[in-house]
Amino acid sequence: MIRETHEHTQSSNSSLSFVWVTLGWREFGRPFSRGCWTRSCPGGRDLFWLTLFFVFAMSFGLLILGTRNGLLNSFSNTFLGYVPQYGIPLALAPHPGAGDFGIDRKVQSDIVAVGKDEKTVLVPGLRAFPYQGLGGGANSSPHFAKLPGSDIWKQGEDIPPYYGWAILEDDPLWTIDKTARTENGLPLALILNRSVFKNAFDYSKYQQVLRSHLPKDWWERDLPISLDKLKALWLFVLVGRQSELVRFQVHWVENIPGASRPAFLYPLGTLRALEEAKANPLLRYFPEALDGKAGGNGARMTGLIVLGGYEDTAAPNERTREFARCLDGEMAQDGEDAAISLPYPKPAVWMTACRSQAGIGQDRIITNTVSGHALSFTQDGFLEIPCDSISEAMARDINAECRVRRLSILGNYPGETIRRLAQCTSGNVTDAGYTLELPDVSQSVISVCAAKSGIPAQNLPPKEGIVSLDRIKGSRIIIYVPDRNGLSEAIDRLLGITIDINDTNIRALSLTPAYKDAVNRVNYLTDTIGSIALPYGALFSSLMLLLLWVILGTLIGHRRERYAVLLARGISWWQIYAMVYFQVILSSTLGLAMAWFADKGMRHWIGGRFIGIFEEYRDILGLTDIPALVSTSHMDYLYTFLAFTILACLIATVFLRMAPITRKADIADLLQI
């Protein structure tokens, strides 16, 4: 009997311990019921007004936070640009004090270390890609992307210069257009900035110029009615030592993010190959042969013969003259045939188009051709060219060594001698002992193995091999900072990178003028908003504190007698506190939920009003995507909820102690008026 009584007492005490949850929930739900608004409402509607306060206060607080974040993001995106999933691009150039050292491999490794350190990540997610200027401005290569007419690009104060960036294909800027990526080769492709081209590019003059330079079939294909439909752009490109028209596939984007507002993007690998062909007369690089292809070399025509090109011994017929004129060639009589010499080796597609235009059959054409070299450009900045395209003197000057893949064995040598050579070079003997297949063995290793095998090195000429040329040095660098918050830290770290010149540490990098100006503007606006944030925050916090003080003071004051009754019935003082805290949390939770809907509505409303403004300034400022002027994160919601809830609980604690509801308080004190 005693045991049953003890168990019943324990059960009652356990139920009593959590009675504050039931009481708090019932009282909280009462002012939200319909009956509380149609007749008398025991306990009043204080909890409803508290919840309504949380709805408006949290909505206003989130709007202030979101607007601040949205404006700061909008400032950085407007002045510096933004690439989704990668961040804010920053263009860095070699510091003037660094001289010819520029941005070499060591500087690049130091840049990578800023984003990924062995012990700590300084600026997480930071990435770097090389680029080169093209067109107008300093440090550019205008000869590899020249418009076919000098007056095609308009002039004026509001017209940006004809200027572009040559970048890698895995650069985030190149991936803005998903169709621009190619798997292999050195692409002939451009990404054009529509907002710049539509104001600066004189399409009618471009059409006039091309009609006088291209075969009819080509300009009919590549000259649509309007610029918006343009799918190919013809540019004068220096191929070797000769400037020629080259066709580039076009990929349009509305804007290219960045402070410099480049008019176009150009493949860096193609630029490096063209630069090398200009500097090295032995290298035969035919761009059309490697457009999107790996390992190809292609062939071009050096001249051709038109059988029966002369009707008599005095003059060629009209079709032959048209054919030669289309090819820009010079004619000479060879009996009844016409020999056409070309000013430079031309792609075979030119012959096909001009032959079709002149109405000459393929069976009447005999061509002389020359083969090109196979080139490739790696994503880490090495241009790979065949060994036979570089002279020994040039190889010594640039400290480049041939990596041989196949070599010939000249002369007759015993089988044991050949086996020793193959073993030393890790090669395989083929072609009845006259060829050796090698795993990219350097020429110096071959010379050593030749001496050990007793074969003169001159009797082992390379059949196939490559020379890797480092073509990153001298490039500029695009840095992608993941978000605005890490921008200042990233710039400080990057500008702190140094190189050693004559035992003196010299700054390696500097922001380009356009980006330096843009960063200063962003910092100015950021600091301006920061200077007014504290006064606004203090005023808002004071107002919220005052309103909470009044609302909670009224709420607890209306319930003093009820709290006294609960204490008289055995409810402990701490359960009264717990019940009030529980009701505050319920009110703030419901208020946060309603504030979430209000925040979404405000975003939609503000965004709708901003669309017209964005469209008006999109092309003027080079904007890409509509910025979110109200930007709130999950952490903003969490911090807002915690701030209001904790503040309300602290104020409630003050009023409960003033009631007084404490361990030693007398119930009679609660009933005093």
Domain shared by 595 and 619, yes or no? yes
3-class DSSP assignment, residue 344: strand
DSSP 8-state assignment for residue 439: E
The tokens for 30 are 């009462």
Those residues with Cβ within 8 angstroms of residue 563's Cβ, 6 or more apart along the chain or in another chain: 576, 659, 661, 670
Give the pLDDT of residue 41.
66
Task: Determine the average pLDDT of the residues in 241-260.
Answer: 90
- 91: in domain: no
Give the pLDDT of residue 206.
95
- 504: in domain: no
For residue 590, CA distances in Å to 47, 267, 359 come to: 11, 55, 82
- 541: in domain: yes
DSSP 8-state assignment for residue 359: T
3-class DSSP assignment, residue 108: helix
- 377: in domain: no
pLDDT bucket at 35, cuts 50 / 70 / 90: low
Q: How many CB atoms lie within 10 A of CB 441?
A: 21
- 476: in domain: no
Give the pLDDT of residue 654.
92
Name the domain boundary from 294, 310, 334.
Answer: 294
397 pLDDT above the threshold of 70:
no
Domain shared by 234 and 269, yes or no? yes
Q: What percent of the chain has pLDDT over 70?
A: 88
pLDDT bucket at 584, cuts 50 / 70 / 90: very high
Give the pLDDT of residue 37.
64
Contact 106, 499 (CB under 8 A): yes
Is-cis flag, bond preceding 345, omega within 30?
no
139 pLDDT above the threshold of 50:
no
Number of domains making up the chain: 4
81 pLDDT above the threshold of 70:
yes
Contact 577, 661 (CB under 8 A): yes
19-33, 263-277, 409-423: which range is least confident on average?
Answer: 19-33
Those residues with Cβ within 8 angstroms of residue 192's Cβ, 6 or more apart along the chain or in another chain: 233, 250, 251, 252, 253, 263, 264
Domain shared by 152 and 32, yes or no? no
Higher pLDDT, 101 or 213: 213
CA angle 61–63–68, rounded 5-degree value = 100
3-class DSSP assignment, residue 441: strand
For residue 50, CA distances in Å to 42, 45, 61, 548, 578 come to: 16, 9, 16, 8, 17
Name the domain boundary from 274, 294, 314.
Answer: 294
Give the pLDDT of residue 591.
93
Exposed, middle or buried: residue 332 (CB in 10 Å: 0-12, 13-18, 19+)? middle
Contact 88, 487 (CB under 8 A): yes
Give the pLDDT of residue 42.
60
For residue 210, CA distances in Å to 247, 333, 417, 433 come to: 11, 30, 62, 55
Give the pLDDT of residue 118.
45
Domain shared by 265 and 135, yes or no? yes
For residue 630, CA distances in Å to 67, 71, 81, 225, 588 come to: 5, 8, 18, 42, 22
Task: Determine the average pLDDT of the residues in 33-39.
Answer: 66
Domain shared by 143 and 72, yes or no? no
Give the pLDDT of residue 138.
43
Exposed, middle or buried: residue 383 (CB in 10 Å: 0-12, 13-18, 19+)? buried
CATH number at residue 355: 3.30.70
Give the pLDDT of residue 527.
87
Q: How far apart are CA 571 and CA 21, in angstroms?
A: 12
Contact 268, 131 (CB under 8 A): yes
Contact 305, 339 (CB under 8 A): yes
625 pLDDT above the threshold of 50:
yes
Give the pLDDT of residue 12.
46
The tokens for 440 are 């990219």
Q: Which of 62-71, 463-472, 539-548 has the highest mean pLDDT?
A: 539-548
Task: Determine the average pLDDT of the residues in 617-622.
Answer: 72
- 501: in domain: no
Give the pLDDT of residue 424.
87
Q: How far apart are CA 275 and CA 268, in angstroms?
A: 10
pLDDT bucket at 394, cuts 50 / 70 / 90: confident
Domain shared by 156 and 195, yes or no? yes
Task: Determine the average pLDDT of the residues in 450-459.
Answer: 85
154 pLDDT above the threshold of 50:
yes
Domain shared by 165 and 244, yes or no? yes
- 499: in domain: no
To 10 degrees, what angle do helices 19-29 and 2-17 make? 40
Spatial CA neighbour of 595 closest among 632, 541, 548: 632
Task: Determine the average pLDDT of the residues in 32-54.
Answer: 76
Distance of CA 494 to the CA centre of its chain: 18
Give the pLDDT of residue 470.
83
Give the pLDDT of residue 100.
60
- 565: in domain: yes
Domain shared by 241 and 363, yes or no? no
117 pLDDT above the threshold of 60:
no
Spatial CA neighbour of 263 closest among 223, 233, 243: 233
pLDDT bucket at 248, cuts 50 / 70 / 90: very high
Domain shared by 281 and 364, yes or no? no
651 pLDDT above the threshold of 80:
yes
CA angle 378–379–380, rounded 5-degree value = 90
Give the pLDDT of residue 434.
78
14 pLDDT above the threshold of 70:
no
452 pLDDT above the threshold of 80:
yes
Q: How far apart are CA 379 and CA 472, in angstroms?
A: 10
Q: How far apart are CA 355 and CA 218, in angstroms?
A: 13
Q: How far apart are CA 579 and CA 656, in angstroms?
A: 11
Domain shared by 625 and 549, yes or no? yes
| pLDDT, tens only, 171-211 | 999 988 877 776 567 889 999 999 899 889 999 999 999 99
Contact 174, 191 (CB under 8 A): yes
Higher pLDDT, 362 or 671: 362
Those residues with Cβ within 8 angstroms of residue 480's Cβ, 6 or more apart along the chain or in another chain: 83, 86, 87, 88, 89, 90, 125, 126, 127, 128, 129, 172
Give the pLDDT of residue 293.
59
116-120, 343-347, 547-551: which range is least confident on average?
Answer: 116-120
Task: Determine the average pLDDT of the residues in 6-35.
Answer: 65
Mean pLDDT of the chain, nearest integer: 83
Task: Determine the average pLDDT of the residues in 569-585.
Answer: 88
What's the predicted TM-score (pTM) here?
A: 0.80
Q: Which of 127-136, 154-163, 244-253 has the highest mean pLDDT?
A: 244-253
Name the domain boundary from 264, 294, 324.
Answer: 294
122 pLDDT above the threshold of 70:
no
Give the pLDDT of residue 9.
43
The phi and psi torsions of 622 (rounded to 5 degrees) equal 70, 40
Contact 651, 571 (CB under 8 A): no
Domain shared by 342 and 414, yes or no? no
Q: What percent of the chain has pLDDT over 90?
A: 23
Residue-range definition of the domain harbouring residue 262? 131-294
13-27, 195-209, 356-370: which range is least confident on average?
Answer: 13-27
Contact 592, 34 (CB under 8 A): no
Higher pLDDT, 64 or 295: 64
Task: Determine the average pLDDT of the residues in 554-567.
Answer: 83
For residue 218, CA distances in Å to 222, 326, 362, 567, 673 come to: 6, 12, 19, 95, 98
169-183, 412-426, 438-452, 509-523: which range is least confident on average?
Answer: 169-183
Q: How far apart are CA 422 and CA 465, in angstroms?
A: 17
Domain shared by 233 and 278, yes or no? yes
Residue with tokens 């939609």: 604
364 pLDDT above the threshold of 80:
yes
Q: Which of 150-154, 474-478, 609-613, 626-630 has the highest mean pLDDT?
A: 150-154
Spatial CA neighbour of 329 closest among 349, 317, 346: 346
Residue with tokens 């060594």: 401
Give the pLDDT of residue 6.
41
Spatial CA neighbour of 181 closest among 274, 264, 292: 292
